[in-house]
């Protein structure tokens, strides 16, 4: 059998734990961005009253529920 010091065991243990936490964090970030992208796909901002609403239809034009204006789908940008 080979000898391993206590410092080596602790260093390996910490490295494995940190790598595991890093990969879980990266996977969670990828899934969060995917969910956010799917959710934002249906958001529309009215060009007249600035009302933000969700329209799950695939039409190019969406009617604003507040003022009735037809709006083109555009990318929703965060400020």
- Residues 12, 45 within the same domain: no
* Encoded tokens for 78: 């965060």
- Residues 46, 68 within the same domain: yes
Residue 46 and residue 50: Cα distance in Å, rounded? 5
The model's pLDDT over 50-65, given as tens digits with 9 standing for 90+, comes to 888 888 887 888 889 9
pTM listed for this prediction? 0.57
The model's pLDDT over 27-51, given as tens digits with 9 standing for 90+, comes to 999 999 988 887 777 888 888 898 8
- Residues 61, 28 within the same domain: no
Q: Is the dihedral of CA 22, 25, 31, 36 positive or negative?
A: negative
**Structural domains counted in the chain:** 2
- Residues 17, 49 within the same domain: no
- The answer to whether 23 and 12 have CB atoms below 8 angstroms apart is no
- Residues 45, 28 within the same domain: no
Domain, as residue range, for 26? 1-34
- Residues 28, 45 within the same domain: no
Tell the residue number behind the tokens 């890093």, with chain if given: 22
């Amino acid at each position: 059998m080979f000898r391993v010091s206590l410092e080596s065991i602790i260093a390996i243990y910490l490295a494995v734990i940190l790598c595991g936490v890093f990969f879980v964090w990266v996977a969670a970030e990828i899934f969060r961005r995917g969910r956010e992208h799917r959710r934002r796909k249906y958001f529309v901002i009215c060009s007249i009253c600035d009302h933000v609403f969700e329209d799950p239809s695939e039409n190019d034009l969406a009617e604003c529920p507040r003022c009735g204006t037809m709006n083109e789908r555009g990318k929703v940008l965060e400020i």
